[in-house]
Amino acid sequence: MAILAWLVDLGARPRIVELAGGLHEVVRMLARFPNAGPRMAERGTVVLRKLIFPRGPFVAWYLHDAEGLDGDLWLVRLFHARQKRLDPGRWLRGK
């Protein structure tokens, strides 16, 4: 996790705690509501979504396999809210 390494290098302990707490909240939220974030791209039943952390300046990008009620969910990237982002669709394309 590049964000965590960057925060450690800065000695930004309060931000690290904020990131960990926010990530915990996001995981709990997505466990209950996997379709919570807006749809960014899709391929078949797999949908790429993003979710802004409830507190803190971070954005989680995740994939959700919407097939069935207990579809798989993968956290694929964390960004700072102001960080430049790559093409999100690349996580859905084949190599």
Q: What is the pLDDT of residues 37-76, one digit of tens each?
A: 899 888 888 999 989 888 778 888 899 997 866 778 888 8
Question: What is the tally of structural domains in the chain?
Answer: 1
Looking at residue 44, its amino acid is: G
Which tokens is 10 given? 């800065």
Helices 2-10 and 13-32 pack at an angle, to 10 degrees, of: 160
Question: Residue 35: which CATH number?
Answer: 3.30.2310
* Residue 19 · residue 58 · CB < 8 Å: yes
pLDDT at residue number 93: 66
Beta pairing partners, 52: 59
**Mean pLDDT, all residues of the chain:** 81
What is residue 90's predicted lDDT score, i.e. its pLDDT?
Answer: 67
> Is 95 part of a structural domain of the chain?
no
Q: How would you classify residue 38: left for phi > 0, otherwise alpha for psi between -120 and 50, otherwise beta?
A: beta
For residues 54 and 36, the answer to whether their CB atoms sit within 8 Å is: no
Residue 54 forms part of a structural domain: yes
The structure's pTM equals 0.75
Question: Is 42 within a domain?
Answer: yes
Q: Can you read off the two tokens belonging to residue 81?
A: 């809210």
Please name the residue that has the structure tokens 């960990």.
Answer: 20
